[in-house]
Amino acid sequence: MGKTVLNTRPETDSGDLAIALQQRGYDVCCAPMLTIDFPALPDDQPGLNLDGVQAVVFTSANGVRAFIRHCPRRDLPVMAVGDATATTAREAGFATVFSAGGDIDDLAALIAQRLPANGGPIYHPAARKTAGDLGTLLASKGYVIDRQTLYEAHAATSLPPAIIDGLAHAAIDAVLFFSPRTAESFVKLVEHHNIQGAMTTVSAICLSPAVKDRLASLKWRRIAVAAQPTQESLLSELDNAIV
């Protein structure tokens, strides 16, 4: 039997990850820490206001999914935080897509490189809670980020019984964490179910140092951070961590 890896990503983001893990020979179990909801626009808002917008910025694939639910336009250039988000945008029909290949700081640098500050606002479809504030990062350079909440990420309220049992009996070798909020949700649920001690047999594999920081209250067998904030880099770190 191969090593067992727990995927904590939302179901909307788990398809390619599950395939990649299985191709590497891992057994995969899932406990999404976030559920993504795409609410309708307010009754007094028939569509998205993109007047004067010079580009769209996506900080997640769910931002792309939210945008295309409400708007048919695909002519605007796209600035994407990473390659997976960029791929989702291209699959949705956007022709001009640039990937920062990293995190929100890399995205801010990409915008400053590719777009003029005086070219008009940049539209950002986002969740209510985000890992960083893109508008603040770019405000000093004169950019205007028009951020609108188009989807919600709701934290899980419990762990599935099979996952609790797997963690408690050392049947899960590693847990993957792609966002600070996912990590926060997991820690709260581990404490809620009183299985903190079980983490000493588990490796935590994190997409970034910010994700690792949210896991510091638990004692892990090992905690590792991807060299780059990409899925491929995280999977490489997983391979190294649990051989």
72 & 57 share domain: yes
What's the pLDDT at 44? 83
What's the pLDDT at 204? 98
Point out the residues of the chain with pLDDT beneath 70. 1, 130-132, 243
Query: Is 42 a member of any domain?
Result: no
Tally the domains of the chain.
2
**Beta carbons of 172 and 163 less than 8 angstroms apart:** yes
55 & 145 share domain: yes
What's the pLDDT at 131? 63
Query: Is 145 a member of any domain?
Result: yes
What's the pLDDT at 219? 97
120 & 167 share domain: no
Query: Is 209 a member of any domain?
Result: no
131 & 167 share domain: no
The CA distance from 183 to 198, in Å, is: 16
What's the pLDDT at 132? 66
Question: Which residues have a Cβ under 8 Å from the Cβ of 94 and sit 6 or more positions away?
Answer: 56, 74, 76, 77, 78
What's the pLDDT at 243? 67
Domain of 114? 48-151
What's the pLDDT at 66? 96
What's the pLDDT at 133? 84
Closest CA to 154 of 176, 174, 188, 129: 129
